[in-house]
Structure 1
Amino acid sequence: MSLQTVLSQHHVHLPDPLQSLAQSICQQLDEKLSADDLAVFADDAFANSVLKVCCCSQFVRDSWLRDPRLLTDLVSSGDLLSSNRNDAYRSDLLNNPADSEAALAKQLRQFRRREMVRIAWRDLAGWADLDETLSDLTALAEACIQTALDFFYQQACKRWGTPTLHNGTPFNIVVLGMGKLGAWELNYSSDIDLIFAYAEDGLLTEKKEISYGEFFTRICRSLIKVLDETTVDGFVFRTDVRLRPFGDSGPLIMTFDGMENYYLTQAREWERYAMIKARQVAGDFETGKQLAALIKPFVYRRYLDYGAFEELRSLKFQIMQELKRKDRMDNVKLGPGGIREVEFIGQAFQLIRGGQEHALQQREIQVILGVLDELKLMRADDVANLKFAYRFLRRVENHIQQYQDRQTHDLPQQALVQQILAYSLDFEDWDSFKQELDKVRKSVQAIFDQVFSLSEQDNQQQAARLVWTGVDEEQSLEYLIDQGFTDPQAVYTALQDFKTSHPVKRMTRKGAGVLDRLMPLLIERIPCVENRDVTLTRILQLFEAVAGRNVYLSLLAENPDALTQLITLSSASPWICEFMAEYPILFDELLDPRSLFEPLKKADLRRDLQRELDKVDSGDGEQLMIVLRQFKHQNLLRVAAADIVGVLPVMIVSDYLTWIAEAILEQVLERAWRILTDKHGCPPNTQADKAGGFAIVAFGKFGGIELGYASDLDLVFLYGCADGNAMTNGEKPINSGQFYLRLGQKIRHILDTKMLSGVLYECDLRLRPNGDSGLLVTHIDQYENYLRDQAWTWEHQALVRGRFVTGDLSLKAEYEAIRARILALPRDLGELKQQVREMREKMREHLDSSAAGTFDLKQSKGGIADIEFIVQFGVLAETANNSSLATYTDNVRLLEGLAAHGFIQADDAALLKKAYISYRDYGHHQVLQGESATASDAEFMELRAQVDRIWQTFME
């Protein structure tokens, strides 16, 4: 009798598209089955199910054809019709122990195939509900794991001895099952996620010395291999161990202490999410209780954990991004309204409330959904919809996988396979099934969106977070393109290189957490500037420089407005980033935009610096120098910030920078005076509380009130006393000349000593009489004699910008009188012109290093130096006739004075003033851009020509 004849006696309705498939199946089985095998069809339940099951599962059909006795054994043993088989898995394997690794591998694979055929048959025949199917699959996996572990443990103990706890009790490893295995919800063709751990470390020395760690690692490797490897008999379970601490880079197995330390100090939030379903599935269940107790506080916090919302939002966003992928639309697990969304809803409530609501500390999602209903955390109808959807989708998932025993969650694309899936789920055709599936998924997605509603701002933040994590390069690049980055690939690469840079990798766990909060904020906010690519690069270099100092990154993470200020400033100036990298304390200045963009005037600078220095012990020279440097850096940043945003014109920028230097010099002189008088006492006619008989004169840019951001200070120290040999009145007296020399040395030491916080100011003292070969400090009487009788013309030129900045006011009057007399000396104009011109030409020859096609703002023809030399020539030529020309030291007011006295035409003076200010403004901003003070040859072409014309008029 043929199989088709036997089956015709059982009225099984098949849809028309499956009729030809059924005939082919009957023909194949007829050719393969013997008369003995056909006897199983005497069981009506089995006979009624054959065509449906074999049509719906190619895997079952092929397994039967490969081993005809397989179904005979399942039916005759009663196992196929039994609903309570999972308790017998372990005993069946124990009754037939393997004597070698090869035999074990074969036994497990054959056993797995037999039981998977049984489970699929019962499911497809409609004999088993979802809970039975999931429970059987989970129990089968556990039995295979435990059997393999027992085998390798016994083999290892025979070879090396038996590990024991400190109390002498033998012990084995603990195997944690993660995901659906841990929750008794394993799907049909699932892999298994495992984590291994052992209670204590130790050393085996009975037969061959080996540590417990190496002993158990070898067992784990063998266990994974025997389960995962594909042989002629197939595989047991695909095994994944990447969820262990440190992932692929971590050890295969860790001690309980190591596990506890990792989860307390280094584990990330998503690992809490994963650990919700962790459960011991094999190994030493006595020590396993201890491990479970260690892990539980990591998963379930004692308070309402709203901090988990941040990570949940991130995970939710990643889910949403995946849903946009076309290859996810037909995925019943990861696609819209899929299984993962149902699980995510339940696990989110577990993470947030599980610490207080013990009923939520369970693993099965169906149980959790019931608890959410009981606790009124979700509406009853939403819970009912999710329960129905979960069971429906899990059946669909299992039937998809039962077709070929493949780990897939995608709906089939071939029409015949679509019909098979629909039929397996008791739908007449594909369209009716698809309508029901779409309805179910739509209801899940609606609830999911309601529970985890994200605002547009949230979406932006999570998109930025996705870019930082680097988990999906394609989506990251799409976001960067949307945000207007010029070269998204380069930006993405820069971020990933930054993340793996040495300074970042060396950060503490706390620091890395701060960076994980800060970087998405930076990525989200940086599109507020035009040059976002280069701005991001500058800030990454800054962050790399300060990576070891978490407090500064924390400041930005906790104060997004400060981060915005940094982005604005970094966009405008790489100098800002370099400056802050060198002096990170300046991060504090970003907190208050009112003070950041409003630099202090001179009186306020004096007051603030006095207040800061009053906190310093008078004898602590190092702290004094630190405070002075911090003060300079803070106020320099304020000027630069105001300059960058256009609040200050160039003339005012130089005023502010000059005021900062003056306020500092005043305090440097006063503090140096106190240090010396405390030790040596005071020179005659002076007081300990006020520097007397000493003056600091500024030259160059400082003297002309034209300081730039990187300017040094050209200084000359003068002193005045009736008798340089007169002694000071302290415990360690020295003569007055020596006292003032030491005062000058102390001032220079405070200014240019290089510390971690940098140099206060580079100090150039070469304009003193006789330059580097002259005395550091000069008596004021000798100073006038030198200027009158020995100084070169270029030294008189320098005196045009010589300005008293701090010290004894009586010396100020003397100095200014000397300056006026020297500037007013009678001079031969022809000789003066020649000397000035020759000096200018020498300067240009030695100092103009600009390349062809570039314009050195200071030294090139028609540049700043030409203007300065015209002014200096005019002052030296005209002061004898107009003493008021000795009043000012800045070039702008000197030009106005020369025009007022008829030395230069008003139009030419105005043009030189315009050129001078334009050059300086450009130069300031070149510094802020980290560039040299040069311009292209085409820049300022007309101005340069006019300056050169005026030079020719006066100097040629």
Structure 2
Amino acid sequence: MLSQPLPGPLAEQAAAARARLGERCAEDVRGDWERAWADYPHPWHLDHMLACSPFVAEQLRRDLAPMVALLNSGELLRGLDEGELRDQLETALAAAGAELLPVLRRFRARHMLRILWRDFCRLAPTLETTRDTSLLAEACIQGALEHCRRDLERRFGTPRGRRSGEPQELLVLAMGKLGARELNVSSDIDLMFAYPEAGDTDGESRQISNEQFFTKLGQGVINALDQVTAEGFVFRVDMRLRPYGDSGALVHNFSALEDYYQEQGRDWERYALIKARAVTGGAARAAELAQMLRPFIYRKYVDFGVIDSLRGMKQMITAEVRRRGLDNDVKLGHGGIREVEFIAQCFQLIRGGRDLGLQQRELLPVLAECAALGCLPEQAARELREAYLFLRDSEHAIQGYRDQQSQALPGESLQQAAMARVMGCADWPAYLERLREHRERVAGHFRNLIAEPGEVQEPADSDLVLWGEDLGADSLAALGYRDPEGSLAPLVELRDSRRVLALQTQGRERLEEFMPQLILACAEAADPDTALARVLPLVVAVTRRSAYLALLLENPAALDELVTLCAASPWIAQQMADHPVLLDELLDRASLYTAPDKGLLQDELRQQVARLAVDDLEAQMDVLRYFKASHTLRVAASEMVGRLPLMKVSDKLTWLAEVILEQVLAVAWHDLTVKYGEPARPGGGYGFAVFGYGKLGGIELSYSSDLDLVFVYDAEARGSTDGKRSIENSVFYTRLGQRMIHILETRMALGNLYEVDMRLRPSGNSGMLVASTSGFASYQRESAWTWEHQALVRARLVAGDPAVGEQVYAVRQEMLCRERDTAELAREVVAMRRRMREHLLGAEVAANGEFHLKHGEGGIVDIEFMVQYAVLAWSHRVPDLVQWSDNIRILETLGSNGLFEQRESEALIQAYLAYRSAAHQLALQQQPDVVPAEEYREHRAAVSAKWEQLFASYGSDA
């Protein structure tokens, strides 16, 4: 489209510009121009630019030398990196001496010519144009700062910190589009100035405070960029985003900034700081400032408390469009650039504290992250991206016409024709139709963002008082509460508590709005009093973090889910009260009641940790804890509504543990190899395997299970790591195991990951934390007790190096398939079972006519011991028994091979599943594993009968 002949009016404009160019072109310059232009591969670009940008035409008319230089250097045909721009400006400033202002303006003119040429001729994509314009601004800021700083230091000396004595520097914070390197071609630049420490300069003849020094420096930079001279300006500078705006100091030290944002910072300032980036100053100081600002910008977890402010901003945007008649503005108007930016930044403010991938400055990566996180549908993110690029190209076409800071569609026909051509459209109506389509899509997504609050649920009897001084039991009774006096007491206690009385206005208003909705929601439960009693601890926990109440007020369906789950399970209620951040999981009912399989868990965790710095151990541990807590909640919720049978519950919880162990190993490995290098080992890989025993090995984890682990490594015994701080392989792997346990067990805001039990390793607590493959094999062959071989039945590789796992599996197969004296084996199994029961099962359980599901006679452990006995006794004849580590498949194998009668195997499987299902349900009700003895009479009889058959001759006490 761009290479087609110019339409009549544009062709005339190009011809007139060519004529003016020829009239003003000196003979020597004309020769240079003609030689340089002869090698340019796209000759039609000249008429295209002369027609579509009178600004470019005027620049060329004034002086062809910059264009000749661009042609000779080849810079019109390639992008420049920031190093080239900075070097070019430094060279020009060095050659010009004290002439800062004219050099900056000539430099800007040359590169704006290059940027517009590449953009209008579609030699550069949209994001290169915005990036190049931003790099140009950064180079000019840095050049101006350095020039002004040298001048001030000659007069006043170097500013130094009062506390540290170190030299101080001015950090120029680029805000808005410049911070994200998304500057348009005729934009102003939003800046803030900061310096690390208060103090004074060290001048010999005259000293001033650091604040005075940096204020002068900031004023110098602004003047150098913003002042209009005969050669124009560089960039208009806007400083209104600094603390206190125009009435505030021009510069602030880090401490003053931190105090301001902690005490007075507002949500719109959080919004403004999302894109903030230091474009001057050392990397360490910039990182320090960014780290200081981050907690203000991004709340630690999902921040629904900001929604009211965002809703207000959205209403202001809509009202401004209406009031100012901005419909023809591609930035500020209906469906414009600002609305796309607002959509992305809303999700950043709300979710950026937890979803670290949203803590980016550039808009398009944020949109992609929103789609990946499910904040936006894929199609919505794609439509917003396409619209954004089209709108930014439109903005450049408008501004590049005369280098004017405007986003309004042109009203004059010639400029309309030029804009349509630059945008690749046949004519102006064709462009307007494409623009309308994009803006309608953006406006639709903008309308759907942060809907107005839904209708507040009102009690059937509007005279009921559900909070405040007049709250009474009669209101609760009218709603169907069975024990209104009992439910009233904790409500009154909460209302009159110091915690509530000390609330600030916003928190008190949210609580007053929320409590009636909670009471009404609980009234819909089968047992309103129980539901209310279980949810109130959560309310108490979040009273001073009312953003969580805002989440529930904004999402009535989430409040309903909360009441439903807490009413069904005190365990879930406790989890929510202990970890209110899990409220975020209630927003998506589909995911709440869908527990992913292992592959999806791996993908999700991989995406979450990919956004973290690999050396940020605390952030990695935080993500792992939320990952575990959220997915455990999903499993529990799915089980409570009957979507997951027992076997699937244990599968999901076991897969979750395995995925977490894989990541814990990866984090620990990285941490240690950075310090010590990698250990010498054959075949590469970790050379390290994590084996799960007990419930983890048997794929039978429950909600509160600890992890029975054994660590095994395979590396040269006397070898060492290859890092500068080399250590022996055995020491490295021991520290690797210790680091894994530290990551798993350390208590943080979301608790620990798992309790770890290492007592099943060779020699138990007195043995090495990590065994070598040879040490593991020799221990199992020569020193292991029978109960340790019983435990080996359930050993399974859960993380780490498969090659090491194969070596351990070979030892396991050898040990389990060893031919044994079955009579002696039976006596040892019975004796171990008796000791376990005496130690773990109180006599009062049986005496009270109760049955302990796990340790009672005919219970879970009896089945497990029979399975382990069978594997140890008969695997030398039936090696298939060694294939599995879980009891169900071993029992199936015993039945299919005739070692147990088929009906016996099936009876034991049914009893085992029934017991474990009951144990899961009791765990969700926070009840012990004890039931009335009559409940499982048939299952107990079947288990005891098989026990008697196997062990009656060997001192069975069943």
Structure 2 length normalisation: TM-score? Answer: 0.51
The residue type equivalent to 1:573 in the other structure is S
Question: For each residue in 1:897-920, what CA deviation from the matched residue of structure 2 results, as whole angstroms up to 9, or x when unmatched?
Answer: 111111111111111111111111
Alignment correspondent of 1:272 = none
Alignment correspondent of 1:610 = 606
Alignment correspondent of 2:466 = 467
Contact 1:686/1:692 (<8 A) preserved: no
The 3-state SS of whatever aligns with 1:805 is strand
Contact 1:669/1:691 (<8 A) preserved: no
1:575 aligns with 2:574: no
Question: In structure 1, how many angstroms separate the alpha carbons of the residues matched to 2:459 and 2:731?
Answer: 71
Contact 1:529/1:568 (<8 A) preserved: yes
What are the residue-to-residue correspondences of 1:786-805 with 2, within 5 Å? 786-805=779-798
Question: In structure 2, how many angstroms separate the alpha carbons of the residues matched to 1:705 and 1:861?
Answer: 23
Distance 1:460 1:952, change over 3 A: same
Distance 1:697 1:471, change over 3 A: same
Alignment correspondent of 1:952 = 948
Alignment correspondent of 2:927 = 931
1:551 aligns with 2:547: yes
Residue number among 705, 720, 723 corresponding to 2:714 in the alignment:
720
Contact 1:673/1:691 (<8 A) preserved: no
Distance 1:459 1:712, change over 3 A: closer
Question: For each residue in 1:219-250, what CA deviation from the matched residue of structure 2 results, as whole angstroms up to 9, or x when unmatched?
Answer: xxxxxxxxxxxxxxxxxxxxxxxxxxxxxxxx
Residue number among 469, 477, 482 corresponding to 1:481 in the alignment:
477
What is the root-mean-square deviation in Å for CA atoms of aligned residues? Answer: 2.2
Task: State the shift of 1:494 in Å.
Answer: 2.6
Name structure 1 gaps, 5 residues minimum.
Answer: 1-303, 308-454
Question: In structure 2, how many angstroms separate the alpha carbons of the residues matched to 1:506 and 1:519?
Answer: 17
The residue type equivalent to 2:470 in the other structure is V
1:906 aligns with 2:899: no
Distance 1:920 1:590, change over 3 A: same
Task: State the shift of 1:537 in Å.
Answer: 0.5
The residue type equivalent to 1:570 in the other structure is C
Contact 2:466/2:515 (<8 A) preserved: no
Alignment correspondent of 2:633 = 637
Task: State the shift of 1:461 in Å.
Answer: 8.0
Structure exhibiting the larger radius of gyration computed from Cα positions: 1
Question: In structure 2, how many angstroms separate the alpha carbons of the residues matched to 1:944 and 1:715?
Answer: 31
The 3-state SS of whatever aligns with 2:934 is coil
The residue type equivalent to 1:467 in the other structure is L
Question: In structure 2, how many angstroms separate the alpha carbons of the residues matched to 1:505 and 1:456?
Answer: 25
Task: State the shift of 1:756 in Å.
Answer: 2.5
Residue number among 694, 703, 706 corresponding to 2:700 in the alignment:
706
Residue number among 511, 526, 529 corresponding to 1:530 in the alignment:
526
Question: For each residue in 1:530-571, what CA deviation from the matched residue of structure 2 results, as whole angstroms up to 9, or x when unmatched?
Answer: 121111101112211222221112111111100000011001
Structure 1 length normalisation: TM-score? Answer: 0.51
Question: In structure 2, how many angstroms separate the alpha carbons of the residues matched to 1:830 and 1:470?
Answer: 76
Question: For each residue in 1:846-881, what CA deviation from the matched residue of structure 2 results, as whole angstroms up to 9, or x when unmatched?
Answer: 001363232211111111000100111111111100
Question: For each residue in 1:308-349, what CA deviation from the matched residue of structure 2 results, as whole angstroms up to 9, or x when unmatched?
Answer: xxxxxxxxxxxxxxxxxxxxxxxxxxxxxxxxxxxxxxxxxx
Task: State the shift of 1:606 in Å.
Answer: 0.6
Question: In structure 2, how many angstroms separate the alpha carbons of the residues matched to 1:584 and 1:617?
Answer: 26
Alignment correspondent of 1:251 = none
The 3-state SS of whatever aligns with 2:503 is coil
Contact 1:766/1:772 (<8 A) preserved: yes
Alignment correspondent of 1:237 = none
Distance 1:940 1:735, change over 3 A: same
The residue type equivalent to 1:816 in the other structure is Y
Alignment correspondent of 2:393 = none
Distance 1:858 1:459, change over 3 A: closer
Task: State the shift of 1:528 in Å.
Answer: 2.4
Contact 1:461/1:521 (<8 A) preserved: no
The 3-state SS of whatever aligns with 1:940 is helix
Alignment correspondent of 2:513 = 517
What are the residue-to-residue correspondences of 1:181-220 with 2, within 5 Å? none
Question: In structure 2, how many angstroms separate the alpha carbons of the residues matched to 1:758 and 1:538?
Answer: 20
Alignment correspondent of 1:666 = 662
Task: State the shift of 1:459 in Å.
Answer: 4.3
What are the residue-to-residue correspondences of 1:370-389 with 2, within 5 Å? none
Distance 1:544 1:691, change over 3 A: farther
Question: In structure 1, how many angstroms separate the alpha carbons of the residues matched to 2:708 and 2:757?
Answer: 5
The 3-state SS of whatever aligns with 2:719 is coil
Task: State the shift of 1:470 in Å.
Answer: 4.7
Residue number among 829, 833, 836 corresponding to 1:840 in the alignment:
833
Question: In structure 2, how many angstroms separate the alpha carbons of the residues matched to 1:598 and 1:461?
Answer: 38
Question: For each residue in 1:830-855, what CA deviation from the matched residue of structure 2 results, as whole angstroms up to 9, or x when unmatched?
Answer: 00000001100100000013632322
What are the residue-to-residue correspondences of 1:223-302 with 2, within 5 Å? none
Residue number among 823, 827, 844 corresponding to 1:830 in the alignment:
823
Question: For each residue in 1:432-463, what CA deviation from the matched residue of structure 2 results, as whole angstroms up to 9, or x when unmatched?
Answer: xxxxxxxxxxxxxxxxxxxxxxx996443845
Contact 2:459/2:520 (<8 A) preserved: no
Alignment correspondent of 1:53 = none
Contact 2:681/2:714 (<8 A) preserved: no
Distance 1:892 1:872, change over 3 A: same
Question: In structure 2, how many angstroms separate the alpha carbons of the residues matched to 1:563 and 1:616?
Answer: 32
Alignment correspondent of 2:240 = none
1:694 aligns with 2:693: no
The 3-state SS of whatever aligns with 1:817 is helix
Question: In structure 2, how many angstroms separate the alpha carbons of the residues matched to 1:626 and 1:461?
Answer: 46
Aligned residues: 499
Alignment correspondent of 1:810 = 803
Question: In structure 2, how many angstroms separate the alpha carbons of the residues matched to 1:798 and 1:615?
Answer: 39
The residue type equivalent to 2:514 in the other structure is L
1:888 aligns with 2:881: no
The 3-state SS of whatever aligns with 2:771 is strand
Distance 1:878 1:895, change over 3 A: same
Question: In structure 1, how many angstroms separate the alpha carbons of the residues matched to 2:916 and 2:482?
Answer: 32
Question: In structure 1, how many angstroms separate the alpha carbons of the residues matched to 2:459 and 2:784?
Answer: 72
Question: In structure 2, how many angstroms separate the alpha carbons of the residues matched to 1:457 and 1:730?
Answer: 65
Alignment correspondent of 1:943 = 939
1:820 aligns with 2:813: yes
The residue type equivalent to 2:867 in the other structure is V
The residue type equivalent to 1:460 in the other structure is A
The residue type equivalent to 1:835 in the other structure is E
Question: For each residue in 1:197-229, what CA deviation from the matched residue of structure 2 results, as whole angstroms up to 9, or x when unmatched?
Answer: xxxxxxxxxxxxxxxxxxxxxxxxxxxxxxxxx
Task: State the shift of 1:807 in Å.
Answer: 0.9
Question: In structure 2, how many angstroms separate the alpha carbons of the residues matched to 1:651 and 1:663?
Answer: 18
The residue type equivalent to 2:840 in the other structure is L
Task: State the shift of 1:799 in Å.
Answer: 0.5
Contact 2:538/2:580 (<8 A) preserved: no
Distance 1:702 1:457, change over 3 A: closer
Residue number among 726, 743, 747 corresponding to 1:733 in the alignment:
726
1:766 aligns with 2:759: yes
Contact 2:867/2:887 (<8 A) preserved: yes
Alignment correspondent of 1:757 = 750
Question: In structure 1, how many angstroms separate the alpha carbons of the residues matched to 2:461 and 2:880?
Answer: 64
Task: State the shift of 1:480 in Å.
Answer: 2.8
Contact 2:680/2:720 (<8 A) preserved: yes
Distance 1:462 1:952, change over 3 A: same
Task: State the shift of 1:944 in Å.
Answer: 1.4
Contact 1:461/1:524 (<8 A) preserved: no
What are the residue-to-residue correspondences of 1:582-661 with 2, within 5 Å? 582-661=578-657
Task: State the shift of 1:670 in Å.
Answer: 1.1
What are the residue-to-residue correspondences of 1:493-512 with 2, within 5 Å? 493-512=489-508
Contact 1:461/1:520 (<8 A) preserved: no
Q: Percent identity?
A: 42
